[in-house]
Amino acid sequence: MRATFIYGTKDIRVQDAPDPSLLADTDVIVKVSAACVCGSDLWPYRGVNQVNEPRRMGHEFIGVVTQIGSAVASLKSGDFVVAPWANSCGQCPPCRHGVQVACEHRAPWGGKDENGLPVDGAQGEFVRVPNADGTLVVVPGISDPDEELSKSLLALSDVCGTGYHAAVSARVEPGRSVVVVGDGAVGLSGVLAAKRLGATRIIAMSRHADRAELAKEFGATDIVAERGAEAAQKVRELLGGVLADSVLECVGTAESMEQALACVRPGGSLGFVGVPHGKEGLSLGLLFSKNISVAGGAASTRAYLPELLEDVLDGTINPGLVFDAVMPLEQAAEAYKAMDERKAIKVMLVP
């Protein structure tokens, strides 16, 4: 089959790779109908995270089950499925707590499972899925979604659920005021999540007209283009003299975390989902004196998938709008480039 590899900074190649086969009786094989590039894939692409040897890429995909391990109970051949960005057994204590990202048997896509056996990256034609019962979610009544539906289903794999995790972690609820830091696919999904959770005032920070436009479509009531102290001041003005009840940090840099903290009112909540880069620690003194709560982290999108899938299927939400480009898998390198240069918000790859 064909699959995507990273060789080093800005060096993405689509190459031949072995077709996967069932290696455990809890596995299934999925024929990928669509995958995509994640903002976090750009960390190694940009050289921020080191690449020591060529490795498989991709952790978001949808597709059709083609082979089934003998111990798999909840799936059958031909099922159309969404795979969360982190696989999980569904049985261990963290899984039972709904924190599937901390699954004791998690096997990183593109890496190796706990038995040292290879797990495919999602940016390829087929993927061996370990712990398939715990991991995959079947899309009922769907066998071959059109492009629009495919985009929304694919968004459930990561960005939609990650934005949702930011909003839940920031304790968004009806009547709360919300600021979203980050206008990438996750930030935009955070806006959508805040709207779904009943926030009445949603301030999106963006300097890009197309992203600001989509933020508004997703429910943003205000756009702030300022940065730093000016942005916080603008938020305070918009909210009648107080800072925000809930702030979603959807980037992961030191600057974005500082920006987010600067926008939370005393007693307010920060939900963070950007993979931390460049910031050593959160100031305990600041959290203490302002009573700011901090929650979030890697999102267990598996936990949110059933309810968000329902909303996608009945047309309540359309998270797939974050995909503003579709490319064939063979053009994966161009997809990375377009996202790196912010020419695309998020690119869907079709094998």
Nearer to its own copies, 64 or 282 (CB): 282
Q: Which stretch binds its own copies (CB under 8 A): 19-27, 120-128, 194-202, 263-271?
A: 263-271
Neighbouring residues of 197: CB distance < 8 A, sequence distance ≥ 6: 167, 168, 172, 173, 174
Q: Match 């480009």 to its residue by tokens.
A: 325
The verdict on 287 binding its own copies (CB under 8 A) reads yes
Report the 10 Å Cβ neighbour count for 320: 22
Q: Which of 16, 50, 284, 315 binds its own copies (CB under 8 A)?
A: 284
Q: How many Å is the maximal CA-CA distance in the chain?
A: 61
Q: Which of 279, 318, 324, 350 binds its own copies (CB under 8 A)?
A: 279
For residue 278, the SS3 value is coil
**Tokens, residue 167:** 């909003």
The verdict on 290 binding its own copies (CB under 8 A) reads yes
The verdict on 283 binding its own copies (CB under 8 A) reads yes
Nearer to its own copies, 257 or 339 (CB): 257
Q: Match 């204590």 to its residue by tokens.
A: 93
Angle formed at CA 15 by CA 53 and CA 6, multiple of 5 degrees: 30
Instruction: Judge whether 191 and 199 are in contact, CB under 8 Å.
Output: no
Q: How far is it, in rounded angstroms, from Cα 28 to Cα 33? A: 15
Least separation, in Å, of the C-beta of 173 and its own copies?
A: 14
Residue ranges in 209-248 that form contacts with its own copies under rule CB under 8 A: 241-242
Nearer to its own copies, 209 or 254 (CB): 254
Least separation, in Å, of the C-beta of 40 and its own copies?
A: 12
The verdict on 306 binding its own copies (CB under 8 A) reads no
Residue ranges in 89-128 that form contacts with its own copies under rule CB under 8 A: 93-94, 97-99, 101-102
Which residue type is seen at 339? M
The verdict on 297 binding its own copies (CB under 8 A) reads yes
Q: How many residues does the chain have?
A: 351
Write out the residues near its own copies by the rule CB under 8 A: 93-94, 97-99, 101-102, 169, 241-242, 257, 265-267, 269, 272, 275-276, 279-285, 287-298, 300
